[in-house]
Chains A and B, each alone.
Chain A
């Protein structure tokens, strides 16, 4: 491989990415939490503690370095970004106080906005639009509930249609339907899955 392929040129980097990233999550977490990514000294405590990194190519510190430097497409377009289980082990151990899991979550929000949401995740979201539950009831468990002396359906959105309508309205107001691509007329996801 010619060595020039490994040279990173300043012009290839998106110098505005770090600010775009901070702006994305600032209103939820506050600026300091997001800016903490710039405190990273690449020690690798996060990667060394990561149960996902043990078995995959997921490298937490690489994502942080790329975020600080402005490798926007590489960070947001990478499937690896979705290998964090949000176990917070690195968050607890980071010697620099980098708010690791919050940073990953904001980056994932940005990736979703850029159209990188996996079909499997759109599917999970669609259950909440339809039922109010990410894991909705099924026939078998409803029978088990009765055998255990519980009501066939729990006292959740499953039992209260007006509560389900409230949840749907909240998701409409936050624009989650547009983000996920949920069609209210068909009550299904848009496009083929």
Chain B
């Protein structure tokens, strides 16, 4: 059985626990065990904390990696933000001995050492590479045939591509491949790779700007005829789900577009009990989507 040290971050355990529960149980089904990283903290958010003080951001990220490394396994994150911080910290520290020594001097005061031996991975890689599209396809019990999905990749998993090395940031396809493996259709929409608006501290400081990003994406998805949005990032997930509730409150505009993390979509295809997916705890009801799926049950 393959094992990973799981870096949970903040938004998944503290706002969208359905993503944590669903991902953990699906991986168990595919014989992959997620080990906890006891005592981990905020990653800290790449576009937020690194903008305040790079050294503090790097030291906290290095501490998270250091305690993850103690499990002896590679580290897996479920959020692009967490992935962004940990992967960038890993890259910066492994490429600069002086910087690594400086950060380790700080960490030594709290009994930690960043070694840089563990790989930082994202949950999407575990599904795309460890499990693979074929196996996902063969495991499906519910047909998601006829469901039109609009995927949202987010920013910090793909970019900067010279560091992240996951191929094209302009036309990525691995998330669409996963969606297709469930039997659902992945449809194109205008400005598909555009940011959701969450990052860089903009949400905290200028929420109207953030929601204007979100609204533009939602409009483009509705225009293309999407039944739901499927993402791979907790921050984007919160932005689209809570953002819709905020847009309704502020602008009186309603989209009612269900928001699913990609493992929640796979969970539907695997025939997982729907209340185990945590969709009912989200702001935007997924009922329209669930009805469409249940209507077409094999």
Contacts and interface: CB of A to CB of B under 8 A. Distances in A.
B45 interface: yes
Contacts, number: 227
A15 interface: no
B202 A52 contact: yes
A78 interface: no
Interface stretch (A37-45, A59-67, A88-96): A88-96
Contact of B107 (A56, A132, A154, A170): A170
B14 A86 contact: no
B195 interface: yes
B65 interface: no
Given A55-B209, A148-B18, A148-B278, A92 B161 contact: yes
Contacts of A123: 204
A28 B204 contact: no
Interface in B1-60: 8, 10-11, 13-15, 17-18, 20-21, 36-42, 44-56, 58-60
A122 B44 CA distance: 14
Nearest to B195: A87
A163 B66 CA distance: 13
A36 to B, nearest CB: 13
Contacts of B15: 135, 141
A87 B198 CA distance: 10
A167 interface: yes
Contact of A176 (B53, B99, B156, B201): B53
Contacts of B205: 82, 118, 120-121
A83 to B, nearest CB: 6
B110 A134 contact: no
Interface residues of A, number: 69
Contacts of B209: 52, 55-56, 83
Interface string A47-78: 00001100110000000000000000000000
A125 B60 contact: no
A150 B8 CA distance: 13
**Size class of the contact patch on chain B:** 35 or more
B255 interface: no
Most chain B CB neighbours (cut-off 10 Å) among A91, A128, A137: A128
A115 interface: no
A170 B63 contact: yes
Contacts of B37: 155-156
Interface string A170-188: 1101111001100000000
A161 B105 CA distance: 22
Interface in A3-33: 25, 27-30
Given A105-B54, A128-B42, A85 B202 contact: yes
Contacts of A117: 52
A108 B51 CA distance: 5
Given A117-B52, A155-B37, A173 B109 contact: yes
Given A86-B199, A105-B51, A134-B44, A170 B106 contact: yes
Interface of B: 8, 10-11, 13-15, 17-18, 20-21, 36-42, 44-56, 58-60, 63, 67, 92, 96, 98-99, 102, 106-107, 109-112, 155-156, 159-161, 169-170, 191, 193-195, 197-202, 204-206, 209-210, 212-213, 275-276, 278, 281
The 6 closest A-B pairs by CB, nearest first: A163-B39, A86-B47, A88-B159, A154-B13, A87-B195, A132-B41
13 contacts: A83-B202, A83-B206, A87-B200, A92-B160, A109-B51, A136-B10, A138-B14, A148-B20, A155-B40, A158-B14, A169-B109, A170-B56, A179-B56
